[in-house]
Amino acid sequence: MSDTVATAPIESRIAVPKQIDPKTGLPRPNFLQDGGKGLKSWLFTLDHKRIAVLYLITISVAFFLGGIFALLIRLELFEPGKQFFNAEQYNKLFTLHGAIMIFLFIIPSIPAILGNFVLPLQIGAKDVAFPRLNLASWYIYVFGSLFAIASIIISAADTGWTFYTPYSSSSSSTAVIPMTIGVFILGFSSIFTGLNFIVTVHKLRTPGMTWFKMPLMIWGLYATAIIQVLATPVLGITVLLLILERAFGIGIFDPAMGGDPVLYQHFFWFYSHPAVYIMILPGMGIISELITAFSRRKIFGYTFIAFSSMAIALVSFLVWGHHMFVSGQSEIAVMIFSFLTFMVAIPSAIKVFNWTVTLYKGSIVFSVPMLYALSFLFLFTIGGLTGLMIGTLSVDVHLHDTYFIVAHFHYVMVGGTVMALMGGLFYWWPKIWGRMYNRTWALVGWILTFVGFNMTFFTQFILGARGMPRRYWTYLDQYQPLHGFSSVGSFILGIGFLISAIVLFVAVHHGRPAGSNPWGALTLEWTQTTSPPVEHNFDGEAVYEHGPYDYDKVIPKVSI
């Protein structure tokens, strides 16, 4: 089978830039060569595409670290009692896994890597609005990450990634302060990226690309950026208050000093619930791109998908209390939060139905990115539907803080966001590097990831419903078979990710040339520039000739 969308030769009505410059007869210089070759040319680059690559490298390191911690957790949980680590070490492991995966990996992942690379290209801009601020965000990300990683060397926090007070204000672990300073700094990276994207989308769209002619990926990133800018400061203030309390004994959350620990939970979730949508909205954007490109269909219900992103972004600010149904809130507060939680489920459902119907009468290609998109639909549907159970008050009382919650958010975050990220990487990889990966090995990686993921986490729905609390170093014997099965699955999942990473890495140097538009897609990054793109994205100004999904009007030429 071919690596690309091979079809019988057909006439193209749209001109795709030739990889070879007709004037010189040589391949066009691209951003990988044009900006210079040395390390300095990368560390001081202002090119959004190079900054995306910098993020790709650093965020991959974070994902690898977080993944290692995950596997160590599953090793320990294979059987009850001590396997490799004692309770204190285990508590540090799950804290590090959570904190690294959330703050260093999943929040920046899609916006900072793929958003940075794709957003200016898709709207026909030469770069983001503030290239220097963009580079600064990356440095701030690295700086914040160093604090978080330094905390591991000091002793590692054992508070859980949520840093709940008063445990975090009284815990003997000295690493709470560096870890939370890291989180505080990382927040600025996120805010700057969001700000940059908002301005870029408003000001730099190529002539002709009106709001409702933008690719849905842009809508997803735009909605995300709004949350990044509005919600992240609250997290910054919250961890700053926590640091003040620990360092100077100023009583805010710790009742021993006159504070209120539940206030911390309100502050924390006021950011961290919208943050869930920072993680998933850009992934939803990717899925809209993949499903249309590989079914050759105009997206079904464009405006509904676009507006549902905005609806999610707005309502997401009003549902934080559903993390606190048993924390002692008043009944009226709990009722309102439950109601709004069900309201936010509707726009997600709208998207899922629209994506599914987009497949109808399409011309569907089972490429690697498409398989990730279909897995997203499968897994995100489970993640979303189990959200209904924990949004239901009486049922959540039973399920709260059990493995059911752990399974639910892994289905949304890994089954949703990470599957979308993988699909996006396999989709845009030929554009970023100009080279195509090995399809067979990519499929092996995909199937192991999909099977391993379900083995690891579906088991945890059952564990949780049967009452297994989360963050337990040891557990009752009755839970062992399911825990053991989950641990086996986690290693299959880990191998799947490893194979995919190797496939992508090898392709960078050894893949065969991919051509400008290997998928025959219709968004500007495929139709108006080469692979890899030239330094300022387009020769001259990008021309808006047709909508992003006008497969009913234009036959894109598959160029190899």
Q: What residues from 84 to 143 belong to the interface with another protein (CB under 8 A)?
A: 87-88, 91
| Distances, alpha carbon 143 to alpha carbons 52, 188, 479, in Å | 17, 11, 41
CB of 26 or CB of 332, closer to another protein: 332
Can you list the alpha helix ranges (DSSP code H) found in 204-260? Answer: 216-248
> Quick one: which segment of 28-36, 60-68, 202-210, 334-342 binds another protein (CB under 8 A)?
334-342
Of 359 and 543, the one with the shorter C-beta distance to another protein is 359
Segment 446 to 505, residues that bind another protein, using CB under 8 A: 462, 465-467, 469-476
**285 Cβ neighbours under 8 A, 6+ residues apart:** 110, 215, 216, 217, 218, 219, 220, 221, 309
Q: Which of 506, 456, 503, 507 is nearest to 482 (CA)?
A: 456
Backbone φ/ψ region at 484: left (φ over 0), alpha (ψ -120 to 50), beta: alpha
Q: Using CB under 8 A, which of 186, 345, 368, 443 touches another protein?
A: 345
Residues 87/169, Cβ–Cβ less than 8 Å: no
Q: Tell me whether residue 283 or residue 383 sits nearer to another protein (CB atom).
A: 383
Query: Residues 377, 414, 482, 524: which binds another protein (CB under 8 A)?
Result: 377
- Using CB under 8 A, which residues numbered 245 to 274 contact another protein? 255-256, 260-262
Residues 210-239 that bind another protein (CB under 8 A): none
CB of 237 to another protein, least distance (A): 21
Shortest Å distance, C-beta 463 to another protein: 11
Question: Nearest approach, Cβ of 305 to another protein (angstroms)?
Answer: 10
> Is 31 or 300 the residue whose CB approaches another protein more closely?
300
Shortest separation between residue 557's beta carbon and another protein, angstroms: 10
Residue type, 457: F
Query: Least CB distance from residue 91 to another protein, whole Å?
Result: 7
Query: Binder to another protein among 190, 338, 449, 486 (CB under 8 A)?
Result: 338
Distance CA 393, CA 154 (A): 41
Within 100-157, where are the H helices?
107-108, 116-122, 131-154
Of 41 and 440, nearer to another protein (C-beta) is 440
Of 374, 407, 412, 455, the residue at the interface with another protein (CB under 8 A) is: 374
Determine the size of the site formed for another protein (CB under 8 A): 93
Residue span binding another protein (CB under 8 A) among the ranges 136-144, 300-308, 492-500, 508-516: 300-308
Question: For residues 240 and 395, which CB has a smaller minimum distance to another protein in the complex?
Answer: 395
Least spacing, CB of residue 349 vs another protein, in Å: 5
Q: Directed axis angle between helix 302-315 and helix 331-358, to 10°?
A: 160
Q: Three-state SS across 442-507?
A: HHHHHHHHHHHHHHHHHHHHHHHHCCCECCCCCCCHHHHHHHHHHHHHHHHHHHHHHHHHHHHHHH
Decide if residue 350 touches another protein (CB under 8 A).
yes
User: Which are the contacts of 218, defined by CB distance < 8 A and separation ≥ 6?
Assistant: 119, 122, 123, 201, 285
Query: Rounded distance, CA 106 to CA 243, Å?
Result: 24
Which region, judged by CB under 8 A, interacts with another protein, from 27-35, 164-172, 448-456, 484-492?
164-172
By CB under 8 A, which span of 51-59, 161-169, 218-226, 282-290 interacts with another protein?
A: 161-169
Query: Least separation, in Å, of the C-beta of 318 and another protein?
Result: 15
Is there binding between residue 555 and another protein (CB under 8 A)?
yes
* 8-state DSSP, 436: E
Give the residue among 119, 123, 114, 134 at the shortest CA–CA distance from 56: 114
Reading the block at residue 125, the tokens are: 């801009």
- 512-551: which residues touch another protein (CB under 8 A)? 520, 551
Q: Which of 353, 440, 505, 541 binds another protein (CB under 8 A)?
A: 353
User: Is there binding between residue 20 and another protein (CB under 8 A)?
Assistant: no
The minimum distance between CB 402 and another protein, in angstroms, equals 7
N residues, the chain: 560
Rule CB under 8 A: choose which of 83, 171, 206, 480 binds another protein.
Answer: 171
Residues with Cβ within 8 Å of residue 227, at least 6 apart in sequence: 194, 274, 275, 277, 278, 281, 313, 316, 317
Quote the least distance from Cβ 474 to another protein, whole Å: 5
- Pick the piece of the chain touching another protein (CB under 8 A) from 24-32, 190-198, 343-351, 451-459: 343-351
Q: Which is nearer to another protein, 62 or 373 (CB)?
A: 373
Binds another protein (CB under 8 A): choice among 136, 395, 502, 508: 395
Under 8 Å between Cβ of 516 and 556: no
* Interactions with another protein, residue window 302-331 (CB under 8 A): 302-304, 325-328, 331
The CB-of-151 to another protein minimum distance in angstroms stands at: 18
- Closest distance between another protein and the C-beta of residue 55, in Å? 32
Q: Within 13 Å and on the Cβ side, how many CA atoms surround 204?
A: 21
| Residue 91: exposure state from Cβ atoms within 10 A (0-12, 13-18, ≥19) | buried
Site for another protein in 22-41 (CB under 8 A): none
What count of Cα atoms within 13 Å lies in the side-chain half-sphere of residue 292? 25
Q: Segment 397-456, which members bind another protein (CB under 8 A)?
A: 397-398, 400-402
517-528 burial: b if 16+ Cβ within 10 Å, else e: bbbbbbbbbbbb
In the block, residue with structure tokens 């990300």: 141
